[in-house]
Structure 1
Amino acid sequence: MFIWGAVRPGRRRLRTAIGGLLLSLVLVSLAGAQAADPDRPLEGEAYSSAEEAYKAFGRGDYQAAAGQAATSVALRPDILRLRLLLIDSLLAAGNLGSAEQATSAALATFSANQELESRQANIRQRLAQQPAGDGYKALERGDTKAAIRAARKAVEYGPDVMSYRLLLLAAQLADNSLAAAAETASEAIKLDPGNYVPMVWRGYIYQKLGNRPLAAADFKAALALPDLTGSERKQIRLIAADAALASGEARTAQSLLQPYPKTDPSVVVRIGDADAAAEGKATLKGDGKLMPMPVQDCRDTPYGSVCSLQAPLVQSIATPIDKKAEGIEAAGKAYEASRAKNYGLAIEEAKKAIADAPEIASSRLLLINLQLTAGRPADAEATADRAIAEGVANAEIYAQRGFARSRNGNDRGAMADWEIALARGLPAEQVRNVRLALVDIALKTKDPKRALRSLPRAGLDYEFTVRRAYAYQALGRKEEALRDFRSAERLSVTNVQRDGAIQAQINTLLELDRKPEARAMFDTAIAAGQLRSIRDADLAYIGVAVGNDKVALELFDRAKANGALPPRATIDAGYTAMRQFQNPKAIAYLKEGIDAKADGRINIDDQKLFETRRTVADLTRVWGVNSSISYGKVGSAPNPFLTINSPASTYTSQLGSEIYYRPEEFGNRNGALFEVFGRLFETLYDQAGGPTGLRTTQGMAGARWKPFSDHNLVLEVDKLFRLGDAARDDTLLRAAYSYTVGTDLRAIDTHWPTWYIYAEVDRFFEKTQLVGLFEGRFGHSFRLDPISRNLVFFPHAVVAASYDDSFAVRDAYSAGLGGSIRYWFGETKYIAPPSYWELTLQYRFRLAGDKRAEGIFAQTSINY
């Protein structure tokens, strides 16, 4: 009886074929083009290439389809449908640049064709996304020159997209290229004369260039645009007021701010400066060039990217004339010290400003912000507490106390403050950040319902949409989460956002047990060059989860080559390589993981380490020896290969030895095994006085195959040849199945449940004989640590059955009790003990059938 050990569950490979669907869509779209084409029929090589292109497209081989389509187009450039096939093949292959070139070439022949123009617009829109994303990234890291280059490329591909022009404008402003920025703003105004954003930007640029009349004209023109919302009109007035104050025009600023209450947090500082200057209590100095920059916010919607402007937070720029305004002067010194990052001095000046004018909320807010910036959230919370207690607090102070409480670990208090701030009417430029913070803390504290309540009711951009998805996910509403993750992908502005949304969709599909869809999404994203913002090792885990071990292993390998493979990933990379039948690579990865455990670089328990070493032992095994001596009744012994003429109820003892070879290249394919072997069997003792010793020596040679990784089914073919005159020549086909639990040694547990079942069917052909065996053992294993951690005692109950059509009574059934003792040996640092010696003793009682079912059964064996 030969039993392979417990097998790790393998994965089922799932393939998703979408080529047929894509082909049908292409054919439908081309049918109209073909019908409208008056060209002569295809023939010759052009026809053959086109046919091959369609076939390749249908099976999803888009590169081959593009190559064949290009050949056909070269031969018949006058056929529109071939041009469209080439373009669609290049698009499906992810080759946008070549697709754009092919579209331009087609339009040179088929000018003003709507299908071609539509494809070109779509291709250029997709081409623009990459440089636009690069431009945003360059701005974030402060590389303004790279941002300008990337933005210009985006504008080149998408000249009608306002957000790309505004990206270029932002890059030029960051680079202080004001003249070029003014030109970009003018071009944007021509593109959309009804959009206030480029017009206000040009007014700001003119102000910075010292051309106050042109700046004022642009602000006035922006306010005169129809269809402005109340919020947009307010922001334009605030920005224009900043320009007026910077130019010393207090009366103009008063006029612009007049529609709004002086207690409005976004107005109070500005109107304070304007009133003080208009009343002669302070002066406004400046040539207009120190106007603060507006804040631009762009978000993607189903109708395209939409940008808006908000007036920035401002500090007082008025210089007091008399001592009554010393509080304003102290606040100004605090701002100056803050810009110099001298937060100690800034905090002291802010405290003076509060002491001089305790009724001014902006001074309190200034101190809170300085304390937060200086890393003193406890002080900031205390300052906010005093302002609230003294009745000086506004919405912004509640918001800032929320941030202070959050840093102090008071998440519940922070959320309460943010909700108050939103209810009291925060300035528009602060509402977004406060809402995002509130939603994030609600999700962190596992309060998804509160997170949903805190989201805006309309106009969700990427950041809000993806958070709503996570809230739905936390509530178990996975279909709604999946919907929002998809929306977030469409709304994403950067590659990081897009990739995060795709990753979340894949994970959600896996949670919904929709693994084929998750695999298809992953494969499509990889083919399209997406998910690159995710680290290779993390992306490899996604590949493993969806069942794409090929890509996962490539990613693990790439991470290792770049020195970015975390030690924790080495073992997982090893198992991935094993599933890809790359055993040498798997062994190398697993050994690296074992070393990482020894060095303390990863934290896995001893059982996980043992299982890893067991896998290395299995992968490195190329040969082995099994030898056993068994004692029991004729016909019930575990080796049914000897011709014994003794009565069935007599005892015999048999020796069996086997040596086997497992080819290194294909002998172990993720637990699916193939081995060739030679065996010798001999009868050592026969109670009935039959032949023993060399006369009974039976030779065997054969091969066995375990076709499944996750099922212990073994198929075997044997050639029996006589070595002693009591043996026989024959041919045997054999099938065996076993299921085992707890038969291996364990590293942590000192005792554990153990059981296994074994079934076998043997068919001899020259001397027709059918043999069947079944045995089940059920018990509990105990590690005998006082003697050796590698010594295991297994007391058990046994049930057994046998069938042999060569006996008068063919079947026999028994049950009994027994015990086994097994000693494991041969371990090294990298391999768990691969060999063992075992002694088993049982007594079985006949339940039915022949008497051979009862009696003593004993066996000692070595598996080396």
Structure 2
Amino acid sequence: MGNWGGKYLRQTAFRAALAALLLAAVLCAGASAQVADGGPPLEGEAYAAAETAYKAFGQGDYKASAASAAEAVALRPDLLRLHLLLIDSLVAAGDLPQAEQATKVASAAFAGNQELQGRQANIRQRLALSPASEGYKALEKGDAKAAVRAARSAVDYVPDSMSYRLLLLNAQLADNNLSGALETVTEAIALDRANYVPLVWRGYINQRLGKRADAVSDFNAALAIPGLTASQQKNIRLISADAALASGDFNAAMELLGSYSRTDPKVITRLTDAEGASQRRGVLQNNGNTMPTPVQECSTSANGVSCELEAPAVLSILTPVASPEEKAAAEIFEAKERAYRAERDKDYELAIVEARKAVQLEPEVAASRLLLINILMSAGRPAEAETEATKAIGAGHSSAEIYAQRGYARGKLKKFGGAMSDWETALKRGLPPAQARSVRLSLADAALTSNEPMRALRALQKLAVGYDTSIRKAYALQALGRKEESLAEFRTAERFATTAVQRDGALRAQINTLVELDRKPEARIVFDQAIAHGRLGSVRDADVGYLAVAVGNDEVALARFDRAHGNGQLPARATIDAGYTAMRRFENPKAIAYLMEGIDAKANGRIDIDDQKLFETRRTVSDLARVWGINTSVSYGKVGSAPNPFLTTTAPSSYTSQLGTEFYYRPEGFGYRNGAIFELFGRLFETLYDQSGGPTGGRTTQGMVGARWKPFSNANLVFEVDRLIALGDAARDDTLLRALYSYTVGTDLRVLDASWPTWYVYAEVDRFLEKRQLVAIMEGRFGRSFRLDAISSNLVFFPHAVLAANYDDSFANRSAYSAGAGGSLRYWFGGTKYTAPPSYWELTLQYRWRLAGDQRAQGIFAQTSINY
């Protein structure tokens, strides 16, 4: 595109055109500011302003003249002479944009006035000079788009200027905007139908657009314009002949040029090509949409700027041919060569065109068809490659290579069944060893993807041992459940690997396979040795972290998760896993931060976990963040159904009601260690009601302080030491040792299920040391929880059956056994975006029937409690 300035603008021609336009503008600008009209005489301020303006204009102070004239126009807008004075002053001052605006205002008031029209034309002509100059310069520099913008601006100012329209046309041609150029040249033809230049340009454009008939019509119309000089007619004919030769119409070219002397180089070259083609001495290298570009020359005269077109000098486009057989062979060879060359240059469109031409010239040759298929695959067009391969196979012109290539095309299209069949056919027909190996490996890959591991093993069985074969055999054996054999193949693959990526991949698969074989200690050893020797370096930190979790090395796992997070490479899905890893490492603040990041990732749609998994993550955050809590309960039931911290005892058959409140503190540094818990607490108990008339209220206030420890993460076994402090005369001072165990299923809130099975078993043994007493209780509740969504999604109803047993050596009848039924209502509250509801209120009501032992086993048992 960059040589368009040289083709169209011929150095000083346009600069001369600019000079002519500037001369005309200066001559027109000499119009006098002293113009009279037939309006009423000026008076007062308007007169004074006008007089000042005229004087300033006469003195050459055009800015002052324009200012006073504007004042006069504002006072007397009905006077044309004042408008003309303002316009002339602005033009003389060089303020052309304001002058144009003043002409628009005056034209609105004095429509059709010739003086105004003349001034407006002059102003717009001068305004057009700057963008026109920019357009010419941009074309000379090869900046077509800038030239188009500038030329459009010039045309907008002076739409009847042929030179500006031709400038816009040249810029659009340089920008290869043929449709825009066609529109511009059609407008230019309408502007001056006696000018042959735009007609010839339109013929050229139509020829390039493939509109041969329209091009011929335009060239003929140009030749028919009266008054053309001999030189103009000759150039039109030469340009028209170029279009004819580009379309292979040698007869039209000979007709156009036959009357001219053969001594003209421009004539003889074109005529010789046309005659050679007509006599079949050669073939025209033609393309109907291309032809040599005409050369435009512009000059200036007293009448303005005029442009002419010349036919360029051209080289012969005739290719000599020999015999028909030689010609055909040469054409096939050249098509293939062009196809190979275009493919190397990644010009796939041209390569495909030439390869298709080769197939058309020798459709029975499988090699030409294979060339087309290969190029289509290189161009990333597997669907077309499959179609061409199918055509070749259907026509009986196939080969093993074509079956193989159709297999690759179908593999790209994820048609794995057809791909495998094609590859198996190609192998049966016979392929060179290197290609056969590639096909077998691809066949194995497709079989593994299609979950046909035996087919993969058959494809690999004839191949020599190596990384490529062993790694695929390993995955096939793994898919068949033959994990011990797959482990051996992974080790072989590691041994034959040639890159770190291959070695690390095989090693990683070994470790995972050992874990799947329940050989976790061995997997841990292999993993630890790999880390110690700097292996697995090509595996992403997050994936090494997961591998470390699988073998139980949380130290390395957390370090790799941390490193990936610090580098911004930790996948969102891994943040929750990193949080649990940090929790197992007792790094609770870090665990909370990771888990909260995972919760945010769920909220932002960056990870996809269900709402129950999200709830469990929030529950973990609640547990990790808890530092203190309060438990308060009011119970009602038979004496002896629960441990009695009071000094007095009441008849076993009597009902009592007791209030208990506990405040506990969980030390932040070590109170929660991956589910192992240590807490300090203080308690107060008081009897609220005694059916037998025993002491109640302040006399029964019992204090306790102590500590409890849950040593195991996965077993809810708790050991406790209490010091009882008598705060009332019916309380006691004592030391209590307790052991508690519970196993629960479904006792927490759920968010996906509306109902779920729930049961738990609770056992407790209490030993008072000073007033010797041994108490043991056991209780099991079995039922189903129902979330009462109609009221609140946090409210759960738990109807259940209950079995209970009690032992207390302070009673005459030490044992009591019962069974019953009851229900609980539990309302969870206090949850946030990051924490599951940590607190609940619960109401339980049961009736139990004595099965054996003391009567205290039978009756109503009720409790309400708040766990905060």
After TM superposition, the score normalised by the length of structure 2 is: 0.62
Q: 2:655 aligns with which of 629, 651, 660?
A: 651
What residue in structure 1 maps to residue 550 of structure 2? Answer: 545
Q: 2:455 aligns with which of 450, 455, 471?
A: 450
Matched-pair contact (CA < 8 Å) for 1:369–1:380: yes
Instruction: Quote the Cα distance in structure 1 between the aligned partners of 2:687 and 2:727.
Output: 13
Instruction: Quote the Cα distance in structure 2 between the aligned partners of 1:643 and 1:635.
Output: 13
The Cα offsets for residues 586-630 of structure 1, whole Å up to 9 and x where unpaired, read as 011111111111111111111111111111111111111111111
Matched, 1:574 2:567: no
Matched, 1:683 2:677: no
Instruction: Quote the Cα distance in structure 1 between the aligned partners of 2:463 and 2:425.
Output: 20
Question: 1:644 Cα shift?
Answer: 3.0
Question: 1:322 Cα shift?
Answer: 4.9
Question: 1:643 Cα shift?
Answer: 2.7
Matched, 1:694 2:698: yes
The Cα offsets for residues 86-131 of structure 1, whole Å up to 9 and x where unpaired, read as xxxxxxxxxxxxxxxxxxxxxxxxxxxxxxxxxxxxxxxxxxxxxx
**SS of aligned partner of 1:363:** helix
Judged with a 3 Å threshold, the aligned counterparts in structure 2 of structure 1 residues 649 and 676 are, in CA distance, closer, same or farther, namely: same
Matched-pair contact (CA < 8 Å) for 1:672–1:706: yes
Question: 1:862 Cα shift?
Answer: 0.7
What residue in structure 2 maps to residue 333 of structure 1? Answer: 338
Structure 1 unmatched runs, 5+ = 1-319
Matched, 1:585 2:585: no
What residue in structure 2 maps to residue 806 of structure 1? Answer: 810
**SS of aligned partner of 1:385:** helix
Q: 2:801 aligns with which of 773, 787, 797?
A: 797
Instruction: Quote the Cα distance in structure 2 between the aligned partners of 1:733 and 1:768.
Output: 12
Structure ID, larger Rg: 2
Q: Which runs of 4+ in 1 moved over 3 A?
A: 320-325
Instruction: Quote the Cα distance in structure 2 between the aligned partners of 1:356 and 1:830.
Output: 72
What residue in structure 1 maps to residue 484 of structure 2? Answer: 479
What residue in structure 1 maps to residue 723 of structure 2? Answer: 719
What residue in structure 1 maps to residue 353 of structure 2? Answer: 348
What residue in structure 2 maps to residue 12 of structure 1? Answer: none
**SS of aligned partner of 1:541:** helix
1:308-327 maps to which residues of 2 (within 5 A)? 322-327=327-332
Instruction: Quote the Cα distance in structure 2 between the aligned partners of 1:489 and 1:666.
Output: 44
Instruction: Quote the Cα distance in structure 2 between the aligned partners of 1:618 and 1:409.
Output: 48
> What is the letter of the counterpart of residue 850 of structure 1?
D
**SS of aligned partner of 1:649:** coil
Q: 1:848 aligns with which of 839, 847, 852?
A: 852
Matched-pair contact (CA < 8 Å) for 2:400–2:429: yes
> What is the letter of the counterpart of residue 492 of structure 1?
A
What residue in structure 1 maps to residue 677 of structure 2? Answer: 673
**SS of aligned partner of 2:607:** coil
1:409-488 maps to which residues of 2 (within 5 A)? 409-488=414-493
Identity of aligned residues (%): 70
Matched, 1:615 2:602: no
Question: 1:337 Cα shift?
Answer: 1.4
> What is the letter of the counterpart of residue 591 of structure 2?
A
**SS of aligned partner of 1:689:** coil
Instruction: Quote the Cα distance in structure 1 between the aligned partners of 2:550 and 2:386.
Output: 45
Question: 1:551 Cα shift?
Answer: 0.4
After TM superposition, the score normalised by the length of structure 1 is: 0.62
**SS of aligned partner of 1:578:** helix
Matched-pair contact (CA < 8 Å) for 1:327–1:355: no
> What is the letter of the counterpart of residue 344 of structure 1?
E
What residue in structure 2 maps to residue 788 of structure 1? Answer: 792
Question: 1:378 Cα shift?
Answer: 2.3
Instruction: Quote the Cα distance in structure 1 between the aligned partners of 2:668 and 2:504.
Output: 40
Question: 1:788 Cα shift?
Answer: 1.1
1:11-90 maps to which residues of 2 (within 5 A)? none
What residue in structure 1 maps to residue 531 of structure 2? Answer: 526
**SS of aligned partner of 2:462:** coil
Task: Report the count of equivalent residues.
Answer: 544
What residue in structure 2 maps to residue 282 of structure 1? Answer: none
The Cα offsets for residues 188-236 of structure 1, whole Å up to 9 and x where unpaired, read as xxxxxxxxxxxxxxxxxxxxxxxxxxxxxxxxxxxxxxxxxxxxxxxxx
Instruction: Quote the Cα distance in structure 1 between the aligned partners of 2:830 and 2:329.
Output: 91
Instruction: Quote the Cα distance in structure 1 between the aligned partners of 2:328 and 2:448.
Output: 50
What residue in structure 1 maps to residue 825 of structure 2? Answer: 821
The Cα offsets for residues 480-524 of structure 1, whole Å up to 9 and x where unpaired, read as 100000000000100000000011101111111111111111111
Structure 2 unmatched runs, 5+ = 1-324
**SS of aligned partner of 1:759:** strand
The Cα offsets for residues 335-359 of structure 1, whole Å up to 9 and x where unpaired, read as 1111122212211211221222233
> What is the letter of the counterpart of residue 760 of structure 1?
E
Question: 1:321 Cα shift?
Answer: 6.3
> What is the letter of the counterpart of residue 716 of structure 1?
E
What residue in structure 2 maps to residue 863 of structure 1? Answer: 867
What residue in structure 2 maps to residue 169 of structure 1? Answer: none
Question: 1:851 Cα shift?
Answer: 0.3
Instruction: Quote the Cα distance in structure 2 between the aligned partners of 1:664 and 1:336.
Output: 73
1:753-792 maps to which residues of 2 (within 5 A)? 753-792=757-796
Judged with a 3 Å threshold, the aligned counterparts in structure 2 of structure 1 residues 324 and 595 are, in CA distance, closer, same or farther, namely: closer
Q: 1:367 aligns with which of 364, 372, 382?
A: 372
Q: 2:390 aligns with which of 385, 410, 422?
A: 385
Matched-pair contact (CA < 8 Å) for 1:660–1:677: yes
Matched, 1:633 2:606: no
Instruction: Quote the Cα distance in structure 2 between the aligned partners of 1:595 and 1:688.
Output: 58
Question: 1:648 Cα shift?
Answer: 0.8
Structure number with the bigger relative contact order (C-alpha 8 A, sep ≥ 6) is: 1
Matched-pair contact (CA < 8 Å) for 1:489–1:501: yes
Matched-pair contact (CA < 8 Å) for 1:699–1:723: yes
Matched, 1:564 2:569: yes
What residue in structure 1 maps to residue 409 of structure 2? Answer: 404
The Cα offsets for residues 741-797 of structure 1, whole Å up to 9 and x where unpaired, read as 111111121111111110000011111110000011111111111111111111111
Question: 1:407 Cα shift?
Answer: 2.3
1:488-507 maps to which residues of 2 (within 5 A)? 488-507=493-512
Matched, 1:836 2:819: no
Matched-pair contact (CA < 8 Å) for 2:437–2:463: no
Q: 1:738 aligns with which of 742, 747, 764?
A: 742
What residue in structure 1 maps to residue 56 of structure 2? Answer: none
> What is the letter of the counterpart of residue 686 of structure 1?
D
Instruction: Quote the Cα distance in structure 1 between the aligned partners of 2:596 and 2:572.
Output: 11
Question: 1:421 Cα shift?
Answer: 1.2
**SS of aligned partner of 1:763:** strand
Instruction: Quote the Cα distance in structure 1 between the aligned partners of 2:388 and 2:605.
Output: 46
Instruction: Quote the Cα distance in structure 2 between the aligned partners of 1:503 and 1:654.
Output: 61
Question: 1:827 Cα shift?
Answer: 1.1
Instruction: Quote the Cα distance in structure 1 between the aligned partners of 2:328 and 2:513.
Output: 64
Q: 2:611 aligns with which of 606, 611, 620?
A: 606
Instruction: Quote the Cα distance in structure 2 between the aligned partners of 1:448 and 1:461.
Output: 19
The Cα offsets for residues 564-588 of structure 1, whole Å up to 9 and x where unpaired, read as 0111111110000000000000011
Instruction: Quote the Cα distance in structure 2 between the aligned partners of 1:363 and 1:456.
Output: 33
> What is the letter of the counterpart of residue 862 of structure 2?
A
CA RMSD of aligned residues (A): 1.2
